[in-house]
Amino acid sequence: MSFLLYGMMPEYEYTTTVEHLFTHCLIAYPFNAFSRDNPMKNDYNKDCITKDEFKKILWSLYQNNYCLVSIYDTFEMKNGIIVKKPVKVPIGKKALILSFDDVNYDHKKMGLGMVDKIIVDSNGKLATSTIVDGKEDISYSNEFVPILENFVSLHPDFSPFKDMATINITGYDGVLGYRTQSKNTINRKQEIEKAKQVIRKLKQNGWNFASHSYGHYHMNKLTDEQFFEEVKLWKDEVEPLVGQTQVYVYPYGEWQVFDNYGNISKKHQSLIDAGFELFCGVGMQTYFSYLPNKNGNKVLFMDRKVVDGNTLRKRDKNLYAFFDPQAVYDYKVRPSV
């Protein structure tokens, strides 16, 4: 018997159409980031967006009826095979995953325009901490974590099931601004404790994590043995912090799933053996499907559209369904290219 017999309209529907946008940590201090003598300025101008661009993008996504869903609700294991799982959205809304790469706040980039770390403030709220002119600046509006949380608190229907976004994380220089890695770390134990406190709060608030490899190497340039070691380092050093994840996000979007004969490559098999089930690449076309292959291997793959200085400047046509890149672009602060 359908609900309609009772005169009730269903409020939700299920869909396998899921969009996925990603960017990097935001440019929090644009005048510093783009100053003439900043060695990172060209990289930032290519690969990153500013905090104000991000705020405009969120508003536009919301107006275009996107709502946030968790990447973990889009797939499941059925009879030993990974399959796409329809996700629930309110009628009239479109499912969207947001993700953020390289959220380690590399110590080499400190003081160059990004925040230093994500913190839990004395009231238990997520914020950022950055040393600016020798003083700590605690902010709630210059990085994606507090900005998105604030947006969702103002517009709860942007996140109908209280899902935030996915943080794609490496391990070679710690996580979230804490130097948790085994190599060259002072006070590692304390850093790990602080990172865990932030991660606990993020998870409570609806954030989730995916692996972005340990060392952010080009997959094709590593030997099989080097790659296995990378996977092991992730399992040993990062998984104990963020918990087990079934999602693997390729650094540079470079993947090597099959060998020359169309079989699963040894490198990819090591990822499957480590528990990864959904694999994410980079591509401006929507792709959430099985990779084409000769031998009937089922590898579930999701492409992610990149939102960065380059795709905004190029006014990539694939972005218009989400926002107008020209209207978002921060002409005031970005240097001309």
Q: How many Å apart are CA 256 and CA 304, to the nearest integer?
A: 17
Of 167, 148, 146, 168, the residue nearest 66 (C-alpha): 148
Q: Which stretch binds Zn ion (CB under 5 A): 40-48, 182-190, 245-253, 268-276?
A: 245-253
Element (H, E) at 303: strand 300-306
Q: At what angle do helices 266-273 and 224-233 cross, to 10 degrees?
A: 20
Q: How many Å apart are CA 161 and CA 151, to the nearest integer?
A: 15
CB of 102 to Zn ion, least distance (A): 4
Q: Which stretch binds Zn ion (CB under 5 A): 90-98, 119-127, 244-252, 265-273?
A: 244-252
Q: Which stretch binds Zn ion (CB under 5 A): 26-34, 46-54, 93-101, 175-183?
A: 93-101
Binders of Zn ion among residues 110 to 149 (CB under 5 A) are none
* Spatial contact of 148 and 98, defined as CB atoms under 8 Å apart: yes
Q: How many Å apart are CA 251 and CA 271, to the nearest integer?
A: 14
In terms of DSSP H, where are the helices of 19-50? 30-33, 41-47
Joined together, the tokens standing for residue 65 give 């009826």
CB of 5 to Zn ion, least distance (A): 52
- Binding residues for Zn ion, total number by CB under 5 A: 3
Minimum CB distance to Zn ion smaller for 93 or for 109: 109
Q: Which stretch binds Zn ion (CB under 5 A): 85-93, 94-102, 219-227, 298-306?
A: 94-102
Burial class of 208 by CB neighbour count within 10 A (0 to 12, 13 to 18, 19+): buried
Query: x-or-dash pattern for Zn ion, window 45-84, by CB under 5 A?
Result: ----------------------------------------
Query: x-or-dash pattern for Zn ion, window 200-239, by CB under 5 A?
Result: ----------------------------------------
Minimum CB distance to Zn ion smaller for 67 or for 165: 165
Q: Which of 101, 116, 173, 191 binds Zn ion (CB under 5 A)?
A: 101
CB of 100 to Zn ion, least distance (A): 10
Q: Which of 102, 149, 237, 308 binds Zn ion (CB under 5 A)?
A: 102
With b for 16 or more beta-carbon neighbours within 10 A and e for fewer, the 231-257 pattern comes to: bebbbebbbebbeebbbbbbbebebeb
Q: Which stretch binds Zn ion (CB under 5 A): 31-39, 100-108, 130-138, 305-313?
A: 100-108
DSSP secondary structure, 62-108, as one string: HHTTEEE--GGGSEEEETTEEEE-PEEEETT-EEEEEEEE-TT--GG
For position 308 contacting Zn ion by CB under 5 A, the verdict is no
Stated length of the chain = 337
Of 159, 150, 110, the residue nearest 130 (C-alpha): 110
Binders of Zn ion among residues 250 to 269 (CB under 5 A) are 251
CB of 216 to Zn ion, least distance (A): 6
CB of 255 to Zn ion, least distance (A): 13
Q: How many Å apart are CA 189 and CA 89, to the nearest integer?
A: 41
Minimum CB distance to Zn ion smaller for 136 or for 254: 254
Q: Footprint of Zn ion on this chain (CB under 5 A)?
A: 101-102, 251
